[in-house]
Structure 1
C-alpha cells in the first residue's frame, strides 16, 4: 500500500513530477532545487523521481524541453582532440539546435529568459553548473592545476558560450539573413578558430 497522499507509479506520476519540478525550478532556481523537494511537491516517494530521471540535470532537460542532454554533449566535446576543440564545439552546438525542433526550442527558451528573471536564473545556473563547469573540469582534470588557472579558463569557456549563443540568437531568433542562411560548414569554419582561441589559448613563447 502506498503511503497516504503519495501517488503510485505510472505516466500520471511522471507528469506530476515534471509539473512539480517546473514549479520548484521557477521558485528556487536550478541550484536551490533538490530532487527530494520535487518529490515532496509532487506527492511521490523520492525513489520514484530517481526511477524516472537520472539526476537533477536530466529532470531539468525534461522540464525545459531541451532537444539533447547537455551531459552527453559535454562528453562529446571533452573527447575531441585538443587542436580541434573549437570546431567540435561549434559542430555540436549546431547539431543540437539547427533542426526545426531545436530552432523552436532555442527561440522559446531565450524569449522566456529575456522576459522572466526566474527563467533566466534557471538557465544561467544550469548552464554554469552542468555545461561550463563540466567542460572546464574535463579540460583541466590535472590535480596540479590551480584554482586561478581554472578561474581563467571558466572565463574563456563562458566567452566561447557567449559567442555561440549570440550566433544562435542571430540565426534562430532575429534571423539575420547572412547568419540564418549560412551553411553549417561555413559557420564552423568561421567560429571554430575563434572558439579554439577562447578555449585553448596559444602557449606563451
Structure 2
C-alpha cells in the first residue's frame, strides 16, 4: 500500500476494498433518488416513453441498479405510486380519529394530494396511463384498493369491505379525472373545501356505514 505526501504532510494510505457507499450511485440514498427520478419521468414522458434506462439516467445510476431494486418498469411504477400516496403514514391517520370522521379525513387526504403541485404531476401521469395501459391500471388498482381503501374498510369491520372500497375508489378517481385531467367546469375551479364537504358523506357511507352509523336503510 502506498501513500501520497501533501504540503500538510503525508496523506492517509488508501484502503483496498469497496468504496464508501455514501457518495456513490449505489449509496444508501440511491433507491430514493431512483424513485424521485421515476416520478418525474412518468410525469413528463408518460408510461409508454418511460424506460428503466431513462429512469436510471435521470437518477444518475446504472440501469442494473434500477433492475436490482425494482425488477421491472411496472415495479418502479408501482413504487412511484406508493411514494405519492404514502399509505404507511396515511392509513393510521385516517383510522386514528372517530369513526364518524373517516369519510371527511379520507376525502381531505385525497384532495390534498391532488392539490399539491409536487404530487399532482406524477399522479396525472399515473391516471392517464391507467386509462390506456392494463399494467398501469393494475398498479393503480392494487395500490388504491389493496393498500389503502380495503385496509381502511377491513379495519372498520364493515360488511363487504372490498366492494365498499371499490365504490369509494370509483368516486374519488372519478373526481380526479374530471377535475384534474378533463378539467370539467365548475368542478375544476371549485374550492377544495366545498368538494370535501360534499364528498365526505358519500365516502363515509361507503367505508364506515355499519361500523358506527348502524345498518344501511332497506331498499
After TM superposition, is the score higher than 0.5? yes
Q: Please say which structure displays the higher CA radius of gyration.
A: 2
Secondary structure of residue in 1 paired with 2:25: helix
Show structure 2 runs of 5+ residues with no match. Answer: 1-16, 39-46, 48-62, 70-75
What CA distance in whole angstroms lies between the structure 2 residues aligned with 1:11 and 1:17? Answer: 12
Corresponding residue for residue 70 of structure 1: 87
Corresponding residue for residue 204 of structure 2: 196
What CA distance in whole angstroms lies between the structure 2 residues aligned with 1:79 and 1:16? Answer: 28
What CA distance in whole angstroms lies between the structure 2 residues aligned with 1:113 and 1:96? Answer: 18
Corresponding residue for residue 25 of structure 2: 12
Shift of the alpha carbon at 1:15? 5.4
Show structure 1 runs of 5+ residues with no match. Answer: 3-7, 27-40, 50-58, 141-148
- The aligned runs of 1:1-205 (5 Å cut-off) are 1=17, 11-13=24-26, 14=30, 18=34, 42=64, 62-64=79-81, 66-140=83-157, 150=159, 152-201=160-209, 202-204=213-215
TM-score with structure 2 length normalisation? 0.61
1:129 to 1:60, Cα distance in 2 relative to 1, 3 A: farther
Secondary structure of residue in 2 paired with 1:177: coil
1:162 to 1:10, Cα distance in 2 relative to 1, 3 A: farther
- Count the aligned residue pairs: 161
1:66 to 1:17, Cα distance in 2 relative to 1, 3 A: closer
What CA distance in whole angstroms lies between the structure 1 residues aligned with 2:109 and 2:122? Answer: 16
